[in-house]
Structure 1
Amino acid sequence: MAQSVYLASTEAHAAKSTVALGLLNVFTTNVERTAVFRPLVRSGGERDAVLELLLGRTSVDLPYEECVGVTYDELHADPEGALATIIDRYRELEKKADMVVVVGSDYTGVASPAELDHNARIAANIGSGVILVMSGNDKPTHEIAEAARLALEDMQSHHATVVGVIANRVPEEQLEEVGEALQSLGVPTWTLPEIPLLQSATVAEIKESLGATLVYGDEDLLAREVEHILMSGMNTEHVLERLKEGQLVIAPSDRPAVLIAVIAAHAAESFPSLSAIVLNGGYPVPDSVDRLVTGFGQRIPILATDHDSFTTAQISSRTRGSLTPQTQRKVDVALAAFERHVDPASVLQGIDFTAPDVVTPLMFEARLLERARAAGKHIVLPEGEDDRILRAASTLLARDVARLTILGDERAIRARAAELSLDISEAAVLSPTDPELVEQFAEEYARLRAHKGMTLERAREIVPDVSYFGTMMVHLGLADGMVSGATHTTAHTIKPSFEIIKTKPGVGTVSSVFLMLMEDRVLVYGDCAVIPDPTVEQLADIAISSSETAAQFGVDPRVAMLSYSTCASGS
């Protein structure tokens, strides 16, 4: 039988999905097979957004349909029959998992006074320990503590076992006070801060709420969060004074001067990067303005709606954001907050957890992040023009995994990150053509390669190459390591290290390895990129180096020699 945790709240908008994300992250580090179950989902056939998000982060590949119980309509029609169905479906799912995170209802389809009771009955009948998620948003400390006490008693009256209480969305300055107030409950308690970004809607969500159309800009940028809203009903100069990073600007469609000014400001390096512009009122953009807007070449989404100014502002401000697989920045921020405020050991202790012997891909990845965070190294990323690098950098920075330097044009890189709703503000962005560093690196490179006839003039031409530039940073102690290869070949990436860093003492052959993440273990394959046809001596060197690398990654090295082909099968 799988262990499980049931997340239940006493009201809507307690942000259980943030807690579920954090718990899944804890469990995937320690459990072989993790799964998610939603006992109640909305009626109407629309797939549950929370479940969609969490399914992508479990280690058991289960179809959506196997992870849901019943709809709210089915619960209303036959409460006892619905409970029996929920139990049956949960029992089938738990056969395929070792740990299940059960995410309770959202107060969207059941009368609120009875909803906690429904969750308590479900938790008791599936034998799941309950973690109560309380909302601390806009509430005094005593009210949060009293609500938690009453919810705890209600759960216990329905024979559900409460294993913890989390006060979520608590103002930062109130965290310590709330934490102390909850200690009297007699169960483990934690507090998580209110993070406005997590409640922010994306441009796509506001577009849908308004029934708006995309008239200009890049559809891929609709996933950016709207962190502020500005109703631009004032003179242009006053609109410009009030622009903020990540802002959605609502402008009357019959005032093209405002549209032009806002787009120009968005394009200017000295102004914030906006999330979107909404033209309200339903008036068409004049041809001359259309040519000008198109000529700016900006990717910022510009939406059009027939609503008047008040209605547009009202709908936009009331649109609630959600965590989805597309909102990477929100997911990163939510995980980072959970990691900072919730001790994993206290969670595992509360559910009487026993660690398995196997290592799954998600467990391996999570443990690598933990080790990297503890090491606190400085890494240079030479391929700053690649969106994948920017996304990875945003995640690593949000979760305090490493200090980063990204190579490339700072203005272009930061602008692209803002468009993608990524936060790389803590990263250094360094131009590989920086004159001072190019001169320093060229002098050192010329010295190192003097025996090959390298001149200072030729070195100045070579070191601005990002692979050489990043390698020189490592060589001179300006970074601890370099990660590259997303857009550059293996040869382009490692050639500078052959010339500059060279091999460590005792290693005669440079080789590489792949970490192959299997279902229940990690295998190390080498060499797959550097020496295609090794000699006997090189093969021995590769085996020794690969086993040492495996040990560094926590893999017990047992060496097996594999051949490309046997006899004539490869001919």
Structure 2
Amino acid sequence: MERSLSFRSVSILSPESANGRNVVALGVADAFARHGSTTIFRPSAASKDPFTRILLDAAESAIPLDDSIGVSPEVFRSHEMSMRADIVARYHHIIDARTLDSTVIVGTDKSPITDPEEFSLNAKIAADLQSPVFLAVCTLHRNPDELLATVHACEEAVDEAGSKVLGLFVTGCSPERREDTLNGLHELPYQVWTVPPQTVDPQSEDSIRQSLESFRQQVPADELIQASEEDWNIPVTPLQFQYSLLHQAKAHHKTIVLPEGEEDRIIQAADFLLARDIVDLIIVGERESILERGDALGLTQLHKASFQSPHDEELLAQMTTELCRLRSKKGMPEEQARKTLQDASYFGTMLVVLGKADGLVSGSINSTANTVRPALQAIKTKPGSSLVSGAFLMCFDTHVALFADCAINPNPNAQCLAEIAIQSAQTAQSFGIEPRIGMLSYSTLGSGKGPDVELVEEATKLLREQAPELQVVGPIQFDAAWSPQVAASKAQGDPVAGRVNVFVFPDLSAGNIAYKAVQRSSGALAVGPVLQGLNKPVNDLSRGAMVQDIINTVALTAAQAD
């Protein structure tokens, strides 16, 4: 991903998406281009759109027109989540391989098809692309009160999406209305510029030149650049996080084994991953029968996988010898080892042990125990780890948090809780999350007493001794860990309370209930469980996993593999 340290992006959004917005987009593209290498991205626009071509020319961008458009207007009005995912992927396709200083993202165009949710959807896409917003709002048919109310409605949609408004262009504002307009907007906490009525005709060079001259006279470029560089809390939406997983996985390009090759969801996920060259895959099963099933499902990329028959005698002999060696303390005879390897999870795990794969994903038709047991017996824990724990990456609308242990340890003691916290912090760091740990309890910093509270107090003490560099608060209740407002009253002055993003639950019952309750009630995307503490990445799937869940877990596993 080649970007300068000062890389900036901004989305230009308008409730009208009409000519005034176009003047603003053209002027911003021109201003950014005069301050560094710049390109244009249109999340949705018509193929061969002439205005997008004008924007690319103004930005002096060499990126082809087709690459600068995410999806067509018809696709934009289709299934929201898949459409947004396609837009995120296309955006990163054009910017990750180039050295750029700026990207100007221009929202959808005015359409005869009215969609009352279109502005909000544009705002969500801005958040997906981790881009702040410049608003363009027309004042031609609005008095100052109506204009301010419109701006506030747009602000609310942008804030709810997770992005932030950094500036406002009031379009269609004649010179005689300028003073009254600015006075009516004096309460806004960001820069406001006015732009007089102007038409951009892509077929007229005079129109384009006049629009640029008018914009330059009204909007000082230095003010524009300064406003675009304001610090803000960059959101991580579920779609952005999923893209980052795929991006990391593709960069690592590891080999992952899928033992459950007879399951439709597994081969559908495999087809998606192979089509995008994200990982190499070993699918356990008979090649011809899997490809035949793939054809029936309309899959076209499965042939790119490697297929491993579980009846390969040469490989089974090698696995049997190694499994007997690994289980020698338990006295595993050869006959028992051969029988054990009839289990697809054991067979797949031994492919990792023998170095033929970097990690494993299983569990779509097997229990967590059937996935974890072979890993514990054959792959074993990392040096310095005494246990394996299971964490979920919880993707909320604007950020990612980590919940642990939600999968493995029923009743951890204080030392186990401290180790779970350390493992979870390492997992968070591996995905670019600066860990702020909350050791959860029904008590906040001494507000309650009892053996369960004392357990968390001891775990917090051990954690601070063993990993003094980590930010931690505990014992703490979930609301005080999550909410700055609650923390202000329950944990006043604590620098971590209200900002926790790694939540360590006191036992498996609490953790498992909590992640499922949050997932189902809030709509958060739960990725995992991530199995922590193993020598090689092995991750478990829910038996109710959707194809996208499997894609995410395979990508996560590849990203974990060193």
> TM-score normalized by structure 2?
0.46
Larger RCO (alpha carbons 8 Å, 6+ apart): 2
**TM-score normalised by length of structure 1:** 0.45
